[in-house]
């Protein structure tokens, strides 16, 4: 039973105000032009794209709990299946809203929706994103309608396959860009899939604990322990893929300069990689998750989830912005000299407007998810030990 919580509504109002500020930031860039941002004709994907890709990737992973319950028959996760689906939809809507508002001309989306170039991975993703929303909405309805519950497993299987294809498509946006040494790798597609599992689960755990705490519902430690172990597996898998990705790059002599740029002398990108992505985003969360003395500590789990999310932003910033900052090698094996930034590391400093747009999209996604929890029968009244 839901309790009256002024704190809950206070959070919703705060999120709504931040989301409106984000819209104002997008409007300013729309009116003044993108020259007020830090983006240039060399860095065309900036901080808003980091936020957008994070939300889109996390949306796929947030549905993991519902898939475990419906498709794989893990009954322990069934009480959270509806919440998993709602959070997945909210995150995707937030990410797509950022992309739409960053277009400068949002009405151009009509062109993207009516004219398709099937040689472009971007055209594929338009279909994948809209299809995902329709499928998950249907999946959610089948889970909520008792008479149609028997169809929830087939719908869950379709949603599982679709989201794996969607995340593969998102990773392939970068993997298919063979002209850039930082992106040209088939490993980016599966790496984005496992990234989605970790990022989405970290957000789900934080919102789950926040909701139960605000409503003073019972949340047995056994459920958090199960989610803690799952987060540990996904975080370790992300770390594994990052190591394999860079080892694969290092194996090719033509990639040594790029690897040196990221791992040794890339300035902010090297700092983000070793200190934030690897140190704070991978190793420290794993230590907090698997430390025997902290297995029953809810606070350590909250910190671990927050660190995973911080590492996620650092990782995506390195992939998206760092990949563009590294000089484009147009003619491999040849020295090219001109006045058009040949061999020059491209500089990028995010502007306030970009941060407002990105953070506004994130808060809008959280607002949708938390609001849905108040108006729909999504969250269980309690998660007790005997429900395992």
Domains of the chain: 12-387 (1.20.1630.10)
At 383, phi and psi to the nearest 5? -125, 95
Span 366-372, average pLDDT: 94
Q: Which tokens hold the place of 72? A: 């794989």
> Residue 387 — pLDDT band, cuts 50, 70, 90?
very low
As to burial, measured by CB atoms within 10 angstroms (0-12 exposed, 13-18 middle, 19+ buried), residue 320 is buried
Number of residues that this document lists for the chain: 388
- Element spanning 84, H or E: helix 81-101
Maximum average pLDDT range among 6-10, 174-178, 251-255, 273-277:
273-277
Q: What share of the chain is helix, strand, coil (3-state, %, to 5)?
A: 75, 0, 25
Please state the three-class secondary structure of 150-194 as a single string: HHHHHHHHHHHHHHHHHHHHHHHHHHCCCCCCCCCCCCHHHHHHH
Is the per-residue pLDDT at 1 higher than 50? no
Res 343 pLDDT > 60: yes
Crossing angle between the packed helical segments 188-215 and 152-175, to the nearest 10 degrees: 130
369 pLDDT above the threshold of 80 = yes
- Backbone Cα Rg of the chain: 21
- Using alpha carbons only, what angle is made at residue 173 by residues 168 and 178, rounded to the nearest 5 degrees? 115
Query: Cα dist. 375→62, 147, 218, 361 in Å?
Result: 20, 21, 20, 21
| Distance from C-alpha of 323 to C-alpha of 312, rounded to nearest angstrom | 16
pLDDT in tens, 152-211: 899 999 999 999 999 998 998 888 877 677 787 889 999 999 999 999 999 999 999 999
Highest mean pLDDT among 32-46, 83-97, 125-139: 83-97
* For range 24-53, the mean pLDDT: 90
pLDDT at 2 over 60: no
Residue 310: both structure tokens together: 């911080």
Residue 266 — pLDDT band, cuts 50, 70, 90? confident
């Amino acid at each position: 039973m839901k309790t009256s919580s002024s704190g809950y509504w206070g959070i919703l109002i705060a999120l709504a105000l931040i989301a409106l500020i984000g819209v104002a930031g997008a409007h300013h860039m729309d009116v003044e032009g993108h020259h007020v941002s830090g983006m240039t004709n060399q860095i065309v994907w900036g901080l808003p794209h980091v936020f957008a890709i994070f939300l889109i990737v996390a949306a796929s992973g947030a549905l993991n709990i519902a898939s475990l319950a419906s498709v794989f028959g893990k009954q322990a996760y069934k009480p959270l299946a509806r919440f998993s689906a709602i959070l997945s939809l909210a995150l995707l809507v937030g990410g797509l809203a950022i992309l739409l508002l960053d277009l400068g001309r949002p009405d151009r989306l009509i062109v993207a929706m009516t004219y398709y170039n099937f040689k472009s991975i971007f055209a594929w993703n338009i279909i994948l994103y809209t299809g995902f929303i329709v499928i998950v909405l249907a999946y959610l309805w089948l889970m909520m309608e008792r008479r149609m519950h028997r169809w929830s497993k087939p719908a869950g299987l379709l949603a599982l396959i679709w989201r794996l294809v969607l995340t593969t498509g998102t990773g392939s946006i970068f993997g298919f860009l063979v002209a850039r040494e930082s992106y040209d790798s088939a490993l980016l597609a599966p790496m984005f899939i496992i990234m989605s599992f970790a990022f989405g689960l970290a957000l789900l755990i934080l919102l789950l604990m926040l909701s139960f705490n605000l409503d003073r519902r019972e949340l047995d430690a056994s459920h958090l322990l199960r989610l803690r172990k799952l987060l540990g597996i996904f975080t370790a898998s992300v770390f594994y893929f990052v190591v394999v990705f860079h080892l694969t790059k290092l194996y090719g002599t033509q990639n040594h300069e790029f690897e040196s740029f990221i791992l040794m002398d890339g300035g902010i990108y090297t700092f983000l990689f070793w200190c934030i992505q690897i140190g704070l985003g991978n190793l420290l969360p794993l230590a907090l998750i698997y430390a025997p003395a902290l297995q029953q500590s809810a606070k350590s789990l909250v910190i671990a989830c927050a660190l995973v999310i911080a590492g996620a932003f650092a990782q995506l910033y390195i992939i998206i912005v760092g990949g563009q900052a590294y000089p484009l090698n147009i003619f491999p094996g040849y020295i090219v000299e001109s006045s058009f930034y040949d061999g020059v590391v491209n500089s990028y400093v995010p502007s306030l407007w970009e941060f407002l747009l990105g953070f506004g999209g994130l808060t809008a996604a959280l607002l949708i998810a938390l609001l849905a929890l108040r108006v729909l029968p999504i969250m269980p009244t309690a998660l007790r030990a005997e429900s395992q």
